[in-house]
Chains A and B, each alone.
Chain A
Amino acid sequence: MPFSEPLKKRLNTIISKHETKRSALIAVLREIQDEYQYLSAESMEEAANMLEISPSSVQNVATFYTMFFTEPAGKHVVWVCRTLSCALRGAEHVEHYMCDKLGVKTGETTADGKITLMEAECLASCGTAPVMLVDDTLEENLTKERVDQVIQELRED
């Protein structure tokens, strides 16, 4: 499916703000993912055409950076930090609790397509561990109650 005119317009604005077309790639992919929840082969190819680079080089970047999805992802993405400072304060428990609650394994999306559960490497908020990034919001000093609440909110959205 080709990009809609409004999306194209937004992408062209993004591209015009960068020093080279290529350097707009990450911002362009972010914008496309915001629209479609993931980066399909068609999207990547269309982005490649807009930036005048090969589709392969778009795929390189789309699969290098963890925040890009090349398979359909959920409406909401939850990134649970797994790295040492969070682990020392219970991150492994948080992740298992989330898996149980959502009925998915890490990396999977709930059957209703609402929530994708991901493991994050250090989210740079070690002083308020354990933490997770829920879409654009950082959730700190996680407790079971807060996790329950967050899941409830996401399910209802």
Chain B
Amino acid sequence: MPKLTIDGKEIEVEDGLNIIEAASRIGIDVPHFCYHPALSVVAQCRQCLVEVEGVPKVMPACNTYVREGLIVKTNSERAVKARKATVEFTLINHPLDCPICDKGGECPLQLTTVEHGPGYSRFEGPEEKKVRKKYYLSDKIIYDPNRCIMCTRCVRFTDEVTKTGELGYNGRGFRKKIVVFPGKKLDNDLAGNVTDLCPVGALLNKDTLHEERVWYWQFTDTVCSLCSNGCNITVGVDPRKGKVSRVRPRTNMDVNEHWICDRGRYDFKEIQEEGTRLRDPILREGEGFKRTEWDEAVSFVAQEIAKAKEGFSQSIAFLASATLTNEELFLLKKLSETKTPSKAVGNIGLINEPKRFGLLSTDPYPNSSGVKEMGFPYGSNNVLELIESIQQGWTNVLYVAGLDLFDLVIEEDKESLRKALSKLKLLVVQDYKLTETVRFAHAILPGVSAYEREGTFTNDRGRVQRVRKVIDPPGTAKPDWEILTLLGQSLQAESFNYSDPSEIMLDIASNIAAYKGINYDNIGTLGASTTN
């Protein structure tokens, strides 16, 4: 562990760190554009120039590595002057169009200019600047060569991280720009990450172009719910609109490193579409439906469950989705066991090929691990058996939480499923969106999407991570844990006394061995591992 001195402070750090990383350990921010911890060091932007004792030239901190006795000055007159000059050079051909640039407000170049720049430009006449046309690199990403400062992060990303090589350069020197090969697109599954990597507004998302201002956004750290990998994300919400504006990766070296896939990034729109969401409790009334209050819906469903549980034990079954949180799964399992143990089955996804780019799983659910660990029999056989038992009439009351049965059968079997569901004496569906299953329900309990709930998911590597509420659900929809708590309380008040998911986790920790000792404090923002 070499000891070195940065700005008069002595620190001891592990070998192999560069000065940018070492300085950040003691709270010194060395500005940079081209350096990124996941990419090769190219030392091109020259923004991280610092003074190193014994070296005549100013040195890029990104390509200067710690060693015993090294003395670095980031704040010497020479270093400060060099960085100030770098900003001026960088801005020579960069349009000062921050007011209409989507990156404005979170732009590293803008921030660096304010903190380290000269505060004025000696280059006159915008008409003298290079002007080149913008163009699309894909359907989702637009490139503005005028704003580009040639940090090459995006090119190194496609060369070194995705290894798909879509991006390259055209020309050299001041003519150089980023291009895709003629006829090709930047369309790999991780492509959207280049918009985060870009330290200026050169690579932007087409979907929100000129629509958003980052300073209105409120950011919440949560996890993605679109597959079993559980990528850590930060969600930006414009509170004036109450809608998700942007999903971004959040670095977690044990889960997704620095990246998310484009589905996770762009596919949040579905939950915000008008007309697809369930807003209020609904009960069947004759051939039609009626909207109702929670009190009425809960007491109706609780009564029906109690009645079914008094009869033949196979007559009621609970079906759980791997989109539910651990807390919700725990409650649903508990509900199935209340009064008399009844059939409870979980549906999970399968990982049947290596994850693409190390993070895209074929299991489309965020919590297949939780389904298994909360004690649900799982596997496609169990689910098909359940459908079979409905068709045979052995099961005539079904409680479905968070899934569409029609997603589980092949096209040819859908008609017989429709018939089976029509035969049910009672179908309760708890879900956040209108599905085909919902159409057969006698009671519809509107739950919430992954952006509207608090709880935990356990990813496919056994990491328990918190999913956080970032927006309000529509109408009177309630978080699923709350719905299950209300039902439980109606059935057996004393054992469903929860006012917050964190309390449910305490019960999980004391009942399920793999979760021993886990609580919301030690899960924190990066998760905690279950024990196996």
Direct contact of A and B (CB under 8 A): yes
Q: List the interface of chain A (C-beta within 8 A of B).
A: 41, 44-45, 53-57, 59-60, 63-64
Q: Which residues of A contact B149 (CB under 8 A)?
A: none
Asked whether A56 and B166 contact (CB < 8 A) given A41-B182, A41-B183, the answer is: yes
Contact A57 B165 (CB under 8 A): yes
B329 within 8 A of A: no
CB distance from A116 to the nearest CB of B (A): 18
Is A41 within 8 A of B172, CB to CB?
no
Query: Are A64 and B172 in contact, with the CB atoms below 8 A?
Result: yes
Residues of A within 8 A of B161 (CB): none
B residues in contact with A41, CB < 8 Å: 181-183
Q: How far is the CB of B244 from chain A (nearest CB, A)?
A: 33
- Which residues from chain B contact A63 at a C-beta distance below 8 Å? 169-172
B179: Cβ under 8 A from any A Cβ: yes
Contact indicator B165/A60 (Cβ below 8 Å): no
Establish whether residues A64 and B168, one from each chain, have CB atoms under 8 Å apart when the complex forms: no
Q: Is B70 an interface residue (CB 8 A)?
A: no
Q: Which residues of B are in contact with A by a Cβ distance under 8 Å? A: 158-159, 164-172, 179-184
Given B167, B169, B181, which contacts A64 in the complex, CB threshold below 8 Å? B169
- In the assembled complex, the Cα of A57 lies from the Cα of B184 at a distance in Å of 13
Chain A residue, CB-CB nearest to B182: A41
Contact of B180 among A56, A60, A64 (CB under 8 A): A56
Given that A41-B183, A59-B179 are known contacts, is A54 also in contact with B170, CB under 8 Å in the complex? no
Find out whether the CB atom of B182 lies under 8 angstroms from the CB atom of A64. no
A56 touches B171 (CB 8 A): no
Question: Whose C-beta in chain B lies nearest to the C-beta of A48?
Answer: B181
Determine whether the beta carbon of B184 is less than 8 Å from that of A55.
yes
Q: List 14 A-B contacts (CB under 8 A).
A: A41-B183, A54-B166, A55-B184, A56-B158, A56-B166, A56-B179, A56-B180, A57-B159, A59-B168, A59-B169, A59-B181, A60-B170, A63-B169, A64-B169
A21 to chain B, nearest CB (A): 15
Most buried by B among A55, A56, A57, A59: A56
Q: Which residues of A contact B158 (CB under 8 A)?
A: 56
A63 to B168, CA, bound (A): 10
Chain A residues whose C-beta falls within 8 Å of the C-beta of B165 in the assembled complex: 53-57
Q: How far is the CA of A134 from the CA of B345 in the complex (A)?
A: 80
Q: Which residues of A contact B172 (CB under 8 A)?
A: 63-64
Whole-angstrom distance from the CB of B138 to the nearest CB of chain A? 14
Q: Are B171 and A54 in contact (CB under 8 A)?
A: no
B residues within 8 A CB of A64?
Answer: 169, 171-172
CA distance A45 to B168 in the complex (A): 13
Chain B residues whose CB sits within 8 angstroms of the CB of A59 once the complex forms: 168-170, 179, 181
The 8 closest A-B pairs by CB, nearest first: A54-B165, A56-B168, A41-B182, A55-B181, A60-B168, A63-B170, A64-B172, A60-B169
Among residues of B, the one whose C-beta sits closest to the C-beta of A62 is B170
Chain B residues with Cβ under 8 A from A55's Cβ? Answer: 165, 168, 181, 184
How far, in whole Å, are A34 and B166 apart by their CA atoms in the complex? 27
Q: With a CB–CB cut-off of 8 A, which chain B residues contact A56?
A: 158, 165-168, 179-181, 184
Nearest A residue (CB) for B155:
A56
Q: Give the residues in chain A near B180, CB-CB below 8 Å.
A: 56
Whether the pair A57, B168 counts as a contact (CB closer than 8 A) is yes
Complex alpha-carbon distance, A57 and B166, angstroms = 9
* Extra 13 A-B pairs, beta carbons < 8 Å, given A44-B181, A54-B181, A59-B170: A41-B181, A41-B182, A41-B183, A45-B181, A55-B165, A56-B168, A57-B159, A57-B168, A59-B168, A59-B179, A60-B169, A63-B169, A63-B171
Complex-state Cα separation, A44 to B168, whole angstroms: 13
Which chain B residues border A45 with CB–CB below 8 Å? 181
B168 / chain A contacts, CB cutoff of 8 Å: 54-57, 59-60
Query: Shortest distance in angstroms between A3's beta carbon and chain B's nearest beta carbon?
Result: 18
Q: Which B residues are CB-close (under 8 A) to A54?
A: 159, 164-166, 168, 181
A63 to B180, CA, bound (A): 13
By a CB distance below 8 angstroms, the chain A residues around B181 are 41, 44-45, 54-56, 59
CB of A38, distance to nearest CB on chain B (Å): 13
- Bound complex: CA of A15 vs CA of B508, how far in Å? 63
Q: Name the CB-closest residue of A to B164.
A: A54
* Residue of B with least CB distance to A59: B168
Give the distance to chain B from A13, nearest Cβ to Cβ, in Å. 26
For B168, B169, B184, the residue with the greatest tally of chain A CB atoms inside 10 Å of its CB is B168
- What is the CA–CA distance of A55 and B168 in the complex, to the nearest angstrom? 9
Which A-chain residue is minimally distant from B179 (CB atoms)?
Answer: A59
A64 to B165, CA, bound (A): 17
Q: In the bound complex, what is the Cα–Cα distance between A110 and B164 (angstroms)?
A: 40
B169: chain A residues at CB < 8 Å are: 59-60, 63-64
Determine the residue in chain A with the shortest Cβ distance to B167. A56
| Complex CA distance for A63 and B176, rounded to whole angstroms | 9
Least Cβ–Cβ distance between A27 and chain B, in angstroms: 20
**A120 to B179 alpha-carbon distance, docked (Å):** 25
Hey, which chain B residues are within 8 Å of A57, CB to CB? 159, 165, 168
Q: How far is A137 from B145 in the complex, measured between Cα atoms in Å?
A: 38
> Of residues B164, B167, B170, which shows the largest number of chain A Cβ atoms within 10 Å of its Cβ?
B170
Q: Which residues of B contact A44 (CB under 8 A)?
A: 181
**Residues in A whose Cβ lies below 8 Å from that of B182:** 41
